[in-house]
Amino acid sequence: EIVLTQSPATLSASPGDRVTLSCRASQSVSTRLAWYQQKPGQAPRLLISGASTRATGIPARFSGSGSGTEFTLTISSLQSEDFAIYYCQQYKNWPPVYTFGQGTKLEIK
Amino acid sequence: EVQLVESGGGLVQPGGSLRLSCAASGFSFSSYWMAWVRQAPGKGLEWVATMSHDGSLTYYVDSVEGRFTISRDNAKNSLSLQMISLSVDDTAVYYCVREDHSTYIYWGQGTLVTVFS
């Protein structure tokens, strides 16, 4: 099973800040990695797939990078609506056991 | 508009059973692989099960293998998850999701399953 480790667990930041969230895979997933955002009481929303491709309607301030085992999600200028929990997910496995990271909570400083 | 609406959650005792349903609309249901993802209270996301578009292939996370059964009725645009031998560790919000190139763009609102002793 591929294990995804996200860091930090919690990140405190202010509106306007640039932040970077990390996701490390226990083995290479190539670029088969996605990022999701989840707000309280809501279902997750896909932000990034293929490690760096923004999903439809996702603002350009969100960007993803990485390949192999090291990935990052960067938010260039935090908006108030960006404070949420972020999860990475790998989808390299076959059979399709698609594991998630444990999440990074982005909170207002 | 793609819609996924789950139902069937509730309270159940350990060892009990429950059947979740997901009504899909707004897309060609029979063309898509579908999955269930769960989230225990205050915890992260966990993929539970996946079924191929035609129902011929199914996959489960190890912790539910043999206890949960995913199924679909393409004529009725519905996905189901039959759960037996439930334990407190199965307490979670269960989301019905559509797979798009192995990622999950469309999610239902979730249905809460609470296993209590």
Max Cα-Cα span within chain A = 41
- What is the rounded CA–CA span in Å between residue B53 and residue A48? 24
Nearest to B35 by CA among A3, A91, A1, A101: A91
Enumerate helices (H) and strands (E) in chain A, giving the number of each.
0, 10
Amino acid symbol at A87: Y
Identify all chain B residues contacting A46, using CB atoms and an 8 Å cutoff.
Answer: 103-105
pLDDT given for residue B78 in this prediction: 98
> Which residues of chain B are modeled with pLDDT < 50?
none
Identify all chain A residues contacting B105, using CB atoms and an 8 Å cutoff.
Answer: 46, 55-56
CB contact under 8 A, A44 and B104: yes
> Which residues of chain A are modeled with pLDDT < 50?
none
| DSSP strand pairing (B10-12 vs B111-115) | parallel
Chain A, chain B: beta-carbon pairs less than 8 Å apart: 48
**Dihedrals phi, psi of A96, to nearest 5 degrees:** -75, 75
pLDDT given for residue A27 in this prediction: 95
pLDDT given for residue A54 in this prediction: 97
